[in-house]
Chain A
Amino acid sequence: MRYLIAAMALALPTSGFAAGERISVTGEIIDTWCYYSGVMGGPDAVVGTAHHTCALWCSAGGIPVGLLGDDGQVYMVLKIEGDDGSASGDTQLSLASHQVTADGMLYERDGLKYIVVEQVVSEGITNLSHLDYDVVPPFAVPKPKN
């Protein structure tokens, strides 16, 4: 077991961009907490403008943002342009729940895809509302008083 760990540690050199793959991804900047945990409902319920405010809350609270590609893959964002963090930076907040096309470097580890976004080529608001998804989350609906 020790040999395996040592071998894997050595397989994780931590300098240089050479091993990353340059990609362009089109999709939505998502709130990964609500997407993965399911606390607000299924994946369709935690995307778009209907989830914008919650996405701001989660990002500002430290939840790493993700890029849900049109290919269905979630790319965990390590940084976007000038903002070094994975969450709560001005760029991460201003892009929350927006559709973007992003150019950057892909790093795959442990079955997860990570992206360092070097440039957001285009972005726009996802114009969906609670009329599409009903009230999200369902427990936010006030219970009728007898």
Chain B
Amino acid sequence: MRLLAAALALWGGMAAAHGTEVHSDTSGAPEGRVAAADLPKAVTPLPWDLGGPFALVDHTGAARTEAEPQGRMQLLFFGYATCPGICSAALPLMAEMAEGLSERGVEVVPVMVTIDPKLDTVDTMGPALAEYSPRIVGLTGTEEALQVAYDAYRVEFEHLFDDPEHGPIYSHGAHIYLLSGAGEVLTLLPPVLPAEQAVAIVSRYAGEG
């Protein structure tokens, strides 16, 4: 059932339901979104460890760890550049968040760690991610180096099948993690939030609201 449903989802469902045409009409979205100043100050600790050091390579070939070189906060996501499923929702959201935050004077770097280093190489990641936004930094590396990052974030994924158009299709997790400039996990963000709500959350961690 899992494979069948996933195949249906990634082959046709996500493309149809989450394409750019459909994204444009959000008139049915619930109202009453939260502004930064309205967010509760208290946060409940997560029930498991998240985050940790890793050493990978970015899409320009430069070495990159969990720390952002300029000390900016980061939005971290695990996926692959040609993913037609959740990545096609999460990566545009991360790009929109980065732009929205930048307008508020908060610089945040969207980062995607690949789950398929054979597909996402230094040569291929940049152009593929630039289709979402030139702001997104792609990280790849050896399988061993990537496994360190997967373990740190409890990332699980499964190769489902090869699609003639999109190539390898994976089932994989979907949360976006907000990291400090030093690479500490500050919180997690569901990739389904309206951009303005996600911006409000990050803004509070940046000291606004």
Q: Classify the secondary structure of B's interface with A.
A: loop
Q: Is A88 an interface residue (CB 8 A)?
A: yes
Q: How many residues belonging to A are interface residues under a CB distance threshold of 8 Å? A: 63
Q: Is B187 an interface residue (CB 8 A)?
A: yes
* Contacting pair B187 A12 (CB below 8 A): yes
Chain A residue numbers with a CB within 8 Å of B194 are 36-37
Contacts A88-B2, A93-B1: A32 and B23 contacting too (C-beta < 8 A)? no
* Contacting pair A61 B9 (CB below 8 A): yes
Q: Is B69 an interface residue (CB 8 A)?
A: no
Q: Contacting chain A: which of B45-53, B123-131, B135-143? A: B45-53
* Contacting pair A137 B192 (CB below 8 A): no
Contacts A39-B23, A56-B9: A1 and B173 contacting too (C-beta < 8 A)? no
Q: How many residues belonging to B are interface residues under a CB distance threshold of 8 Å? A: 64
* Contacting pair B190 A61 (CB below 8 A): no
* Contacting pair A85 B193 (CB below 8 A): no
Within the complex, the shortest CB–CB distance from A79 to chain B, in Å, comes to: 9
Chain B residue numbers with a CB within 8 Å of A87 are 86, 173-174
Chain B residue at minimum C-beta to C-beta distance from A46: B28
* Contacting pair B86 A109 (CB below 8 A): no
A1–B45 Cα gap in the complex (Å)?
21
Chain B residues with CB under 8 Å of chain A are: 1-2, 5-10, 12-14, 17-18, 22-23, 25-30, 34, 38-40, 42-51, 73, 85-87, 89, 154, 156, 171-175, 180, 184-194, 201, 204-207
A-B contacts, 17 listed (Cβ < 8 Å): A5-B73, A9-B186, A32-B192, A34-B17, A38-B27, A39-B22, A56-B5, A60-B2, A60-B7, A62-B85, A62-B173, A63-B191, A84-B156, A88-B5, A88-B6, A107-B47, A111-B201
